[in-house]
Amino acid sequence: MTVVRWGRRTVLGVMGAAALALSAAPAFAQSLEKTSIGVLALASSGPIFIAKSKGYFEKEGLDVDLKMFTSAQQVPVAVASGDVDFGVTGLTAGFYNLAAKGAVTMIAAQSRDEPGFELSAYVAANTAFAAGLKKPADLKGKRIAITTVGSTFHYMLGLLGQKYGFTVKDLTMVPLQDVPKMTAAFKGGQVDAIVAPVTVARQMVADGAGTIIGWVGDETPWQLGALFTGPKTIAQRRPTVEKFIRAYQTALAEYHAAFNTKDASGAIVKGPGYDSLLAIIAEATKQKPEVVAAGLPYVDPQGKLLIDDVVNQVKFWQAEGQVDKALDAKSIMDLSFVK
């Protein structure tokens, strides 16, 4: 073993270098540009949680504050008011109303209902199933629980109608404000069916309250969520938006590789980093990993939007009288960040 003896000058030199390094550390931290994003505690926000946890935002020079919200509509309102710089959540009529006023602009995709991915289910109550409600096309004429008029559930039913030749006017939508009230009405026999997130749908089946009759992704794939910001942010802080998107895309690619491959039976093939990424999302959403794993949505690895569906969403909400008919769908998407 070789023993190295340092003289006084050497020791002082090393100590000086260490002190210099320590003094530079806060300066580096202070050089990070502060920004913020509004998210929901859902697996669909997974890539954001991954980018934050693994330091991808910091590598781009950003100090990103995650602000948690409890409903999809709260997020674009927060962006519009300036409470947060970015938002990522499901697309609703309320979002498009704010976009029509020039308050928010889509810049990348979030999650989407995709064939083979069990994200949103059509669930028939026991009595309705026994009476012939066996498949999604049979929902015409039925009483269906949703959260609110203008919600993602509303659009899912509208899309289903477009496929099978009926409209939401041929349904009796029962708005109940939130998913717990939807499930209570379902179990209480007040409705024939619900459109529910996968974890809720499977719990219904486990409780013996109903039967899953189909999946939205298999019937009508669509762009469920998006990443967005304010037009002013794009105009005044474009380099910041570009940095944010790069970090987000790094996390999207990791998420996609870990979770979005299925085998012939439809089961997830665990990709690189599956367990560690699942743990990050579980911690952020305050859910058990197995619960998160049961509802992992599909994400495009680059964050590309389903442009045709966004256009269809706008037309649907306009036809429903929920969005200004003058709105041009393509005017609320900035496609320059995700080529």
> Of all helices (H) and strands (E), which one includes residue 184?
helix 179-187
Q: Residue 187: which residues within 8 A CB-CB, separation 6 or more?
A: 204, 207, 209
pLDDT of 36 higher than 70: yes
Higher pLDDT, 271 or 2: 271
Arithmetic mean of pLDDT, 45-63: 97
The predicted structure's pLDDT at residue 267: 81
Q: Alpha-carbon distance 162 to 337, whole Å?
A: 31
The predicted structure's pLDDT at residue 72: 85
The predicted structure's pLDDT at residue 1: 42
The predicted structure's pLDDT at residue 30: 59
Domains in the chain, CATH or no CATH each = 33-112+223-332 (3.40.190.10), 120-219 (3.40.190.10)
The predicted structure's pLDDT at residue 65: 96
Arithmetic mean of pLDDT, 78-95: 95
Arithmetic mean of pLDDT, 78-97: 95
pLDDT of 15 higher than 80: no
Q: Residue 10: which residues within 8 A CB-CB, separation 6 or more?
A: none
The predicted structure's pLDDT at residue 70: 84
Burial of 237 (0-12, 13-18, 19+ CB in 10 A): middle
Q: Alpha-carbon distance 107 to 238, whole Å?
A: 12
How much of the chain is in helix, strand and coil states, percent to nearest 5? 50, 20, 30
Q: Alpha-carbon distance 123 to 168, whole Å?
A: 17
pLDDT of 27 higher than 80: no
Q: Alpha-carbon distance 60 to 42, whole Å?
A: 25
Q: Binning pLDDT at 50, 70 and 90, where does residue 314 land?
A: very high
The predicted structure's pLDDT at residue 178: 85
Q: Binning pLDDT at 50, 70 and 90, where does residue 291 land?
A: confident
Q: Alpha-carbon distance 298 to 281, whole Å?
A: 14
Give me Rg for the CA atoms of the chain. Answer: 23
Any idea which residue has 């070789």 for tokens? 2
How high is the mean pLDDT of the chain? Answer: 90
Q: Alpha-carbon distance 176 to 164, whole Å?
A: 25
What does each C-alpha distance from 18 to 4, 8, 23, 32, 303 come to in angstroms?
19, 15, 9, 22, 42
169: tokens are 């006017």
Q: Is 70 helix (H, G, I), strand (E, B) or coil?
A: coil
pLDDT of 103 higher than 50: yes
Beta bridge mates, 111: 299
For 118-152, give one letter per residue: b (16+ CB within 10 A) or e.
Answer: bbbbbbbbbebbeeebeebbbbeebbbbbbbebbb
> Of all helices (H) and strands (E), which one includes residue 247?
helix 238-259
Q: Alpha-carbon distance 269 to 263, whole Å?
A: 6
The predicted structure's pLDDT at residue 161: 95
Other beta carbons less than 10 A from residue 36's beta carbon: 16
Of 23-37, 98-112, 283-297, the range with the lowest mean pLDDT is: 23-37
Q: Alpha-carbon distance 158 to 319, whole Å?
A: 11
Q: pTM value? A: 0.85
Arithmetic mean of pLDDT, 245-257: 97
Q: Is 205 helix (H, G, I), strand (E, B) or coil?
A: helix
Give me the numbers of helices (H) and strands (E) for the chain, helices first please: 15, 12
